[in-house]
Amino acid sequence: MSNWIELSSKEDKELYKKIYKKLKFKPSTVEFPSFVVPSPFISYDISHCLVDMSQFESLNSDLKNKTLHNLKEVTKKDEFIYGFDWNHASYWVNPHLDFPKTECNEWLVPVFPDGDYYFFLQENLDWGILGHPWEKSITIFGPDLLQAFKNVSPSLFWKVLRKG
């Protein structure tokens, strides 16, 4: 079975509506946070990762590996979730299937927000991972996903920005 299935135009519009309504998403380069997530959640400041670029590749690799592990922990083998890339193509993706990478060794929708909002979301938005490029943060919400990240935490998740 194929992975990274691009959303149809209709699915894409529906996803945007869900995100803007349920997460009260208001994209901004200066007003943070840009969304409201249900409790429990935790937001991590990841700006330190950009100060010393010599460590970026290893920290980003660790982030991807542990995120994929945790997504597998909270999804069924046949379950697809959203890979949302704001103002670009978004996808259905199954963490249990092959995760091919681009020529830059990145997922089609990265975890690390390096210029756009990147979200991984359960279909009903009951849990998710929200990357904010201007706040330089990653927010995890939903009890099961939070527990998975507590058990297997990326190295760059050490500076808590917000909890709720």
Locus of tokens 């946070």: 33
pLDDT at 157: 97
pLDDT in tens, 136-154: 999 999 999 999 999 999 9
- Whole-number Å distance between alpha carbons of 112 and 46: 9
What is the average pLDDT across 81-87?
96
14: tokens are 């529906």
30: tokens are 């200066």
DSSP 49: G
pLDDT at 2: 66
Indicate the helix (H) or strand (E) that contains 44.
strand 41-45
Per-residue pLDDT band for 101 (boundaries 50, 70, 90) equals: confident
pLDDT in tens, 10-41: 999 999 999 999 999 999 999 999 999 999 99
pTM over 0.85: yes
- Whole-number Å distance between alpha carbons of 137 and 41: 13
Within the chain, how many helices (H) and strands (E) appear?
A: 3, 8
pLDDT at 99: 82
C-alpha triplet 147, 152, 157: angle, nearest 5° = 90
Q: What percent of the chain has pLDDT over 90?
A: 85
Indicate the helix (H) or strand (E) that contains 139.
strand 137-141
pLDDT at 103: 83
Cβ within 8 Å of residue 10, ≥6 positions away: none
pLDDT at 50: 81
Q: Residues, the chain, total? A: 164
